[in-house]
Amino acid sequence: MPETPESAERPRLTERQVVAEGGWHPRYARVLAIATDGDYGFALVDGNGDGAELEEELWEWHDGRWDGRSSSGGGGLDWLEPLRVWWPYRDPDVCVAFGRAPRRESVTLRFARDRRQVPVSADGVWAFVLAQPGLHAGGDPVLADER
């Protein structure tokens, strides 16, 4: 996915950073997917490396660095739906969408009057973030029927 003008001004949120600054043990934790848009980022973390309990982490660019802002238990990898949507902030509206798509290279997301190709990680998980004023009024993102 191409970088937005805002994201080009700051370094990407990386797996290494999520593990180190998120307090995860580097021997066990694995980051299943990362997405960013402007000042907002999302990471889906498997803290023990076994898929039993995932953490949904929201990150924000603040004072020249990425800061972890919130974390929520996301259940096990086996129970992750193809699409899960989270609206953590308003003004601007920030939408996080993520899901499981095993054996896929990408998914197509319909959202905000657009279709977006989102890459799927080697772990079969994808993530997407979009931050815009007034975004919530357009409804939730949906997976496009690609058959």
Residue 146 within a domain: no
The predicted model scores a pTM of 0.89
Partners of 99 in the β-ladder? 126
**pLDDT of res. 35:** 97
Residue 80 within a domain: yes
Query: How many structural domains comprise the chain?
Result: 1
H-run or E-run covering 127: strand 125-132
Residue 142 within a domain: no
**pLDDT of res. 96:** 96
Residue 141 within a domain: no
Residue 57 within a domain: yes
Residues of the chain with pLDDT under 70: 1-8, 146-147
Residue 128, classified by CB atoms within 10 Å of its CB into exposed (0-12), middle (13-18) or buried (19+), is buried
Distance of CA 65 to the CA centre of its chain: 18
The structure tokens listed for 47 are: 């803290």
What does the alpha-carbon distance between residue 67 and residue 46 come to, in Å, rounded to a whole number?
19
Residue 62 within a domain: yes
Residue 51 within a domain: yes
Residue 42, classified by CB atoms within 10 Å of its CB into exposed (0-12), middle (13-18) or buried (19+), is buried
Domain range holding 14?
A: 5-134
The structure tokens listed for 108 are: 């197509």
What does the alpha-carbon distance between residue 44 and residue 111 come to, in Å, rounded to a whole number?
21
**pLDDT of res. 146:** 57
Contact 18, 43 (CB under 8 A): yes
**pLDDT of res. 94:** 92
**pLDDT of res. 76:** 95
**pLDDT of res. 8:** 53
Residue 130 within a domain: yes
Residues 6+ apart with CB under 8 A from 13: 34, 36, 41, 43, 59, 66
